[in-house]
Structure 1
Amino acid sequence: MKKDLHPKYNPVVFVDMTTGARFVTRSTKTSDKTEEIDGVEHYIVSMGITSDSHPFFTGKAQFVDTEGRIDKFQKRFGTVRRAGKPKL
């Protein structure tokens, strides 16, 4: 078996930046920040969106575009009719 084939697996804390929720797990991801939890040094990785803040998991309503692009265009600019071929 080859040496150093697999990446190092580290204890990590993923922190949700919007809610502050913390997920203690293991990952190959590292960072400069560390924190000691239960006598074990964990890397701290900040995340923008996690299951604690994502609308799919929280059930919070979000603006959904129900009107189509063509409808929006026609509402904004009105219906545009093409002129017939010019008579010579």
Structure 2
Amino acid sequence: MRKNIHPNYRTVAFHDTRKDIYFFIGSTVNTPQTVNRDGQEYPYMAIDVSSASHPFYTGEQRSHDGEGRIAQFRRRYKQKK
């Protein structure tokens, strides 16, 4: 591999702010913030949604009981007889 063309790959602490959970994942994200966890300093990145808080993964999906898009269109633009 050529030198000085690849991004810096390291372990980054991603913080899910909704659930207050930290994920330690290898990433190339560039962030100036750091956090101390378990006696080590990691680059820190706050995120709003992760698998711990997303409704698809947590099973907290909301069901939509309203009519669909096509039914709304037909109702709105039905021809008058």
Q: Aligning the two structures, in what range does the TM-score lie when normalised by the shorter sequence?
A: 0.7 to 0.9
Q: Distance in 2 between matches of 1:28 and 1:45?
A: 11
Which runs of 5 or more structure 1 residues have no equivalent in the other structure?
A: 83-88
Which runs of 5 or more structure 2 residues have no equivalent in the other structure?
A: none
Q: For residues 32-66 of structure 1, what are the alpha-carbon distances to aligned partners after superposition, in whole Å with 9 as ceiling and x for unaligned?
A: 21012344320110111100011111001314365
Report the residue type matching 1:48 in the other structure: D
Q: Distance in 1 between matches of 2:42 and 2:51?
A: 21
In the other structure, the counterpart of 2:25 is 25
In the other structure, the counterpart of 1:81 is 80
Q: TM-score, normalised by structure 1?
A: 0.71
Count matched residues.
80
Q: Is the 8 A contact 1:18 1:48 kept in 2?
A: yes
Q: Distance in 2 between matches of 1:5 and 1:78?
A: 57
Task: Please tell me the root mean square deviation across aligned C-alpha atoms, in Å.
Answer: 2.3
Q: TM-score, normalised by structure 2?
A: 0.76
Q: Distance in 1 between matches of 2:30 and 2:65?
A: 38
Q: Is the 8 A contact 1:12 1:30 kept in 2?
A: no
